[in-house]
Amino acid sequence: MKSLFEPVILSAVRTPFGRRNGALRETRPDELLANIIVAAVDRAGVPSTSVNDVIAGCVSQAGEQGANIARQAVLLAGLPAEIPAVTLNRMCGSSQYAVHAAAQANAAGDADFAIGCGVESMSRVPMFLDLTLGQGDFKGFDNLHPRLTALHDIPHQVESAERIGSHWGISRQACDEFAKESHRRAHVAREARLHREIVPVSGVDKAGASIVLDHDEGVRSVIDHEKMAAMLPVFRDMDSGVVTAANASQMSDGSGAVVLGSLGAAQRLGLTPKARFLARVVVGSDPVMQLTGVMPATRLALQRAGVSLADIDWIELNEAFATVALAWAREFSPDMDKLNPWGGAIAHGHPLGGTGAGLLAKMLSGLEARGGTLGLQVMCIGHGMATATVVERLN
């Protein structure tokens, strides 16, 4: 017998992901978040007065993303002032974990309905601004505790991605081919208008004229193969480096939101759940390699869900770097047709705190489009962590 406190997903939506300094460059992140919260509540059919809490992920909590952006977004959205909100930072896994936290509130009986969401405007709030505010441009992790850096020589994530490439013997050509396939798949999905989870938003074109953005802006329909091959690695030379701007995630602006409720509360309102959780996982991992947590997170999530990878119909693995995705594939030997079938962050971008909720929404749309049932979402996280979620589509 199912528990009436079991958390279920009632809606999952996202904005299009805009390029940094692209169509969403003039849109404040608090406005992006407010708009997607409204859209999520509307699609869920939950009265706004029934929402008990809003939990938002955001990484660079400074400037327009400071001062608890979740609470600001609730008020901007016109939701009742009685709805509280909190902003958390689990780095790239922030809004995926925000969804987990909202589900935990349902399961504990603390909230009938809660929203897990997230946002990042990398145009208006540069990455690492929270580390460098008032101290000039980012030049390294100088603000980390000296004892911490003595214990763990934590490098930039690009260097960790390079070390992963070396450890798993991943070539530059393999990274570039993976990136091309990400764009190809994303373009096919966009042209077929498969992204039912995307809520169009207002933006501006290059000249500043008003437009409506209804697709991920970074997806390329045509790849210049010679230009990609000629790109220099970010941190290393051509002989030793494999990570370039073309085979790593794009900096982006975007937001996502998921409305969750306890099964009993949903039934009382006559709402039909879209999905339920089979596993919610967060793990710590080596802070130097720092992006390999996706391996133990995957194993633990599958174990808790009681399924094998072969049972999974859709795998949404965040493409922070091609080396991370390819190393994960070396470890698990998945059906590659199930891995990011609509492309990933290399193509559509990675708005840090907004990506986790956005990818969950994308995965649920993909499962519905393919008639699939089980989905696995996994994200690597800086300083050595990872989040993973296994869901079962119900509707």
Which residues does the annotation mark as catalytic? 92, 350, 380
Burial (CB < 10 A; 0-12, 13-18, 19+), residue 58, is: buried
What is the SS3 assignment for 246?
Answer: helix
Closest by Cα among 257, 268, 319 to 291? 319
Distance CA 39, CA 25 (A): 21
CA dihedral (282, 155, 141, 228) positive or negative? negative
Distant-in-sequence, close-in-space partners of 252: CB < 8 Å, separation ≥ 6: 17, 18, 19, 20, 120, 122, 217, 218, 348, 349, 350, 351
Q: Measured between alpha carbons, how far apart are the two ends of the chain, in Å?
A: 19
Distance CA 315, CA 388 (A): 11
Q: Tokens for 113, please give them.
A: 């309905």
Closest by Cα among 389, 366, 390 to 311? 390
CA dihedral (264, 198, 77, 253) positive or negative? positive
Distant-in-sequence, close-in-space partners of 89: CB < 8 Å, separation ≥ 6: 57, 58, 59, 61, 353
Helix axes 322-332, 294-305, angle to 10 degrees: 50
What is the SS3 assignment for 376?
Answer: strand
H-helix or E-strand spanning residue 323: helix 322-332
C-beta separation of 96 from 357 below 8 A: yes
H-helix or E-strand spanning residue 266: helix 263-268
Closest by Cα among 215, 267, 256, 227 to 36? 256
C-beta separation of 60 from 355 below 8 A: no
